[in-house]
């Protein structure tokens, strides 16, 4: 089950059924099944609070993924800061919806095992995001 919730922000305009099909399809590309995935769309203050409390990081970010997967099923909670997604879209000259879709699938890619901590894995993550976005 894929759920979309909000915490201290308005729900962005989403075609939830289309997103569920897309996420399931991308997960299948990596040999995974979708279990319980909850997206929590929030503001910058909430994501900062989550970052501090659970990761010990004192900075804003666009997405935080908590992975509860049990092979081959992916499950997790994915916090997405709508404020930061909007700022990032403006900085790169992208439409908000396009940037939001990139971040939505970014969390799924983390659940499939993709990292992004090094320059090499970050570049690979971007490539995989782009492939997934073409499916949408």
Q: How many structural domains are present in the chain?
A: 1
The residue length of the chain stands at 136
CA separation for the pair 132, 136 (Å, rounded): 7
Q: What is the pTM of this model?
A: 0.95
**Helices 119-135 and 96-111, interaxial angle, to 10°?**
120
CATH number at residue 129: 3.40.390.30
- Residues of the chain short of pLDDT 70, as ranges, are none
* Structural domain range at position 82: 2-135
The enclosing H or E element of 119 equals helix 119-135
pLDDT tens, position by position, 78-108: 999 999 999 999 999 999 999 999 999 999 9
- Report the 10 Å Cβ neighbour count for 99: 20
Q: What is the sign of the dihedral through the CA atoms of 43, 130, 136 and 38? A: negative
């Amino acid at each position: 089950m894929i759920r979309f919730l909000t915490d201290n922000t308005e729900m962005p305009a989403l075609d939830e059924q289309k997103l569920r099909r897309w996420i399931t399809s991308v997960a299948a590309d990596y040999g995974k099944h979708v279990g319980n995935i909850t997206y929590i769309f929030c503001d910058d203050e909430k994501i900062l609070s989550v970052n501090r409390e659970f990761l010990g990081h004192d900075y804003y970010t666009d997405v935080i993924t908590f992975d509860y997967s049990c092979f081959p099923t992916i499950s997790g909670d994915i916090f997405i800061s709508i404020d930061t997604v909007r700022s990032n879209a403006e900085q790169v000259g992208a439409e908000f919806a396009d940037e939001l879709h990139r971040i939505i699938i970014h969390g799924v890619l983390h659940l499939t095992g993709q990292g992004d901590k090094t320059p090499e894995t970050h570049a690979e993550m971007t490539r995989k995001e782009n492939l997934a976005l073409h499916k949408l």
